[in-house]
Amino acid sequence: MKFLIHSFQSTIRFLLILSLSAMVMLTFGDVLGRRLFNTPIYGAHDLTEHLMALIVFCGLPLLTSVRGHLAVDLFDRFIMQPKMAWWRACISLMVATILFLIGYQFAVAAKEAVYIQEVSQELLIPRYYLYTVMSVSGFISGVAALLPESNNNMNNSDSAFTKSPLSEESGL
């Protein structure tokens, strides 16, 4: 089981790195192509949007499992006390409910996208595919919100998800 979760997480990380690199290369290639050779990449914007959707919904389960969502920690000293455990459980439940709702709504959206022939603006890629990914991601994230916080220290060499100032804070 542990092995399964670990390889699942590794796959997602790999996908994240791949999507983000692809985004950089796409913009780079599009601008250079247009400036230097007068040949922009048709659909570059469209692909970027798809990659972004992939990044967000691949990252969502991981972010949820390490409790990485932006939160105001003003009253932490009070809320982190053992006697406030019930409230922290309520929070997890609320987060999970909303994530399940997102998963359900995207399942509905995927079904409708087929019916109304929803496609992307430039490349006419059916929305159905990504809506399905988003739905699945919503459900997995909901489960992740209910499971205990994952420390994610299985592999120290790529411990990007351990909390550093850059990722823990809003960074903004």
Partner 1 sequence: TTFTLSNWVPPTHFITTDILNVWAEQVQTATEGRVEIRMLPKPVGTPAQHWELARKGIVDITWGNFTYEPDRFKSIWFAEMPFNGEDVEASSVALWDTYEKYLASNPTYADVKMLGVGVLGPGVINHGSKAIVSTEDMANQKIRMGGPIQKRLIEELGAIPIAAPATKAYELLAGQVLDGSLHSLESVVNFRLTEQLSHHTLIPGGFYDGTFFLIMNEGKWKRLSAADQATVMSVSGTVFSRLWGQVFQREIDQAYAQLREEGHQFSQPTEELMAKIGLVRQQMIQDWATEHDSYGIEQPLEMFDYYRQRYTDLSK
Partner 2 sequence: MMTGLIALIAVLALAFLRVPLAFALLGVSIIGLGVLLGAESSMSMVSMTITEAVFSYELAVVPLFILMGNVLSRTGISSDLFRAANAYLGHVRGGLALSTMVTCAGFSAVCGSSLATAATMSKVAYPSMKKYGYSNSLASASIAAGGTLGILIPPSIILMIYGILTQTNIGQLFVAGVIPGLLGLTFYMLAIYVIAILRPAEAPRGKNSTAAEKYSAVKGVWPFCLLFILIIGGIYAKIFTATEAAGMGAGFALLVSMFQKRMSIVDFKVIFLDSAFTSVMLYCVLFGAMLFAKLIAFSGLGESLLDMVAQADLSPYQLIFAILFVFLILGCVMDSLAIILICVPLFIPIVIANGFDLVWFGIVVVVVTEIALITPPIGMNVFVLKAALPEVAIKDIFKGLIPFIAVDVLRLLLLVFFPILTLFLVNFMK
Chain residues binding partner 2 by CB under 8 A are 13, 16-17, 19-21, 23-28, 30-31, 35, 45, 48-53, 55-57, 59-60, 62-63, 68-76, 79, 87-88, 91, 94-95, 98, 101-102, 105-106, 108-109, 120, 127, 131, 134, 157-161, 164-167, 169-172
Backbone torsions φ then ψ of 121, nearest 5 degrees? -65, -45
Q: Which does 38 bind (CB under 5 to 8 A by kind): partner 2, partner 1, none?
A: partner 1
Q: Which does 117 bind (CB under 5 to 8 A by kind): partner 2, partner 1, none?
A: partner 1
Burial of 151 (0-12, 13-18, 19+ CB in 10 A): exposed
Cα separation, 67 vs 7, whole angstroms: 20
Q: Which does 42 bind (CB under 5 to 8 A by kind): partner 1, partner 2, none?
A: partner 1
Minimum Å gap between C-beta 41 and partner 1 is 10
Closer residue to partner 1 in complex, CB, 14/42: 42
Contact flag: residue 46 with partner 1 (CB under 8 A)? yes
Q: Which does 91 bind (CB under 5 to 8 A by kind): partner 1, partner 2, none?
A: partner 2
Cα separation, 128 vs 56, whole angstroms: 17
Contact flag: residue 118 with partner 1 (CB under 8 A)? yes
Cα separation, 142 vs 157, whole angstroms: 28
Cα separation, 137 vs 132, whole angstroms: 9
Minimum Å gap between C-beta 30 and partner 1 is 9
Structural contact between residues 161 and 62, judged by C-beta atoms closer than 8 angstroms: yes
For 152, left (φ over 0), alpha (ψ -120 to 50), or beta?
A: left
Cα separation, 99 vs 103, whole angstroms: 6
Minimum Å gap between C-beta 140 and partner 2 is 14
